Chain A
Amino acid sequence: GESVGLHLPTLSVQEGDNSIINCAYSNSASDYFIWYKQESGKGPQFIIDIRSNMDKRQGQRVTVLLNKTVKHLSLQIAATQPGDSAVYFCAETFSGGYNKLIFGAGTRLAVHP
Chain B
Amino acid sequence: DTEVTQTPKHLVMGMTNKKSLKCEQHMGHRAMYWYKQKAKKPPELMFVYSYEKLSINESVPSRFSPECPNSSLLNLHLHALQPEDSALYLCASSHSSGYNEQFFGPGTRLTVL
Instruction: Show the binding face of A for B, using Cβ within 8 Å.
Output: 31-32, 34, 36, 41-46, 49, 51, 89, 95, 98-106
With A49-B99, A89-B42, A103-B43 as given contacts, are A98 and B104 in contact (CB-CB < 8 Å)?
Answer: no
Chain A residues lying within 8 Å of B103, measured Cβ to Cβ, are 46
Query: In the complex, A104→B50 CA distance in Å?
Result: 24
A-B contact count (CB 8 A): 55
In the complex, the answer to whether A98 meets B42 with C-beta atoms within 8 Å is no
Chain B residues lying within 8 Å of A106, measured Cβ to Cβ, are 40-42
Chain B residues lying within 8 Å of A36, measured Cβ to Cβ, are 104
Counting CB contacts under 8 A, is B107 at the interface? yes
Chain A residues lying within 8 Å of B75, measured Cβ to Cβ, are none
Interface of chain A: mostly helix, strand, loop or mixed: loop
In the complex, the answer to whether A42 meets B96 with C-beta atoms within 8 Å is no
Q: Give the residue of B42, B43, B96 whose beta carbon is less than 8 angstroms from that of A99.
A: B96
With A42-B106, A43-B106, A98-B55 as given contacts, are A51 and B45 in contact (CB-CB < 8 Å)?
Answer: no
Query: Residue-by-residue, is B90-104 near A (CB-CB < 8 Å gives 1, otherwise 0)?
Result: 101010100111111
- We find that the number of chain B residues with CB closer than 8 angstroms to chain A is 26
Query: In the complex, A103→B43 CA distance in Å?
Result: 7
Counting CB contacts under 8 A, is B48 at the interface? yes
What are 12 pairs between A and B in contact, CB < 8 Å? A31-B99, A46-B102, A51-B99, A95-B99, A98-B50, A98-B55, A99-B33, A99-B96, A103-B42, A103-B44, A105-B41, A106-B40
Instruction: Show the binding face of B for A, using Cβ within 8 Å.
Output: 4, 31, 33, 40-45, 48, 50, 55-56, 90, 92, 94, 96, 99-107
With A99-B96, A100-B56 as given contacts, are A105 and B42 in contact (CB-CB < 8 Å)?
Answer: yes
Chain B residues lying within 8 Å of A51, measured Cβ to Cβ, are 99
Q: Give the residue of B43, B101, B107 whose beta carbon is less than 8 angstroms from that of A46.
A: B101
In the complex, the answer to whether A99 meets B31 with C-beta atoms within 8 Å is yes
In the complex, the answer to whether A100 meets B45 with C-beta atoms within 8 Å is yes
Nearest neighbor of B55 in chain A, beta-carbon distance: A98
In the complex, the answer to whether B48 meets A99 with C-beta atoms within 8 Å is yes
The distance from the CB of A9 to the nearest CB of chain B, in whole angstroms, is 9
